[in-house]
Amino acid sequence: MSIAELNDQVTEHREILRACKVKVEGDTSTPLNTRALKFLSVLDELIETREVESDPHKILGIPASSQVIQSYLYLIGSGLFFAFQTFITSDVTYGPDGLFIPATYN
């Protein structure tokens, strides 16, 4: 069985599970229905956890872990810092009409 077929089956079974959960939520008058609702909720959470483990979110093709996210945030922050520093320390001037006046190097 391929992964695509397995994912289709998981999706189908999860939809059935959620439909049963909705049906049981309507009638929680008996302890059996209350336990069934708790069981279906736990089962739904377990399937969701397995889906996240088998197909994690990705950032530029790399599975997103805390180290990957920290690395990307560091790179973005560094780039913004250096761009801002370059803008502040450059000799860029603008005329009264808002047009750029190139610096003359003698």
- The pLDDT of 6-18, averaged and rounded, is 71
Per-residue pLDDT of 52-66, as tens digits, reads 666 667 777 777 788
Q: In the chain, what are the domain boundaries? A: 1-55, 57-106
Element (H, E) at 21: helix 3-25
DSSP state of 90: S
CA atoms within 13 A on the CB side of 45: 6
- What integer pLDDT is reported at residue 106 of this predicted model? 44
Prediction pTM value: 0.39
Which neighbouring-strand residues pair with 62?
59
Bridge-based pairing state of the strands 93-94 and 58-59 = unpaired
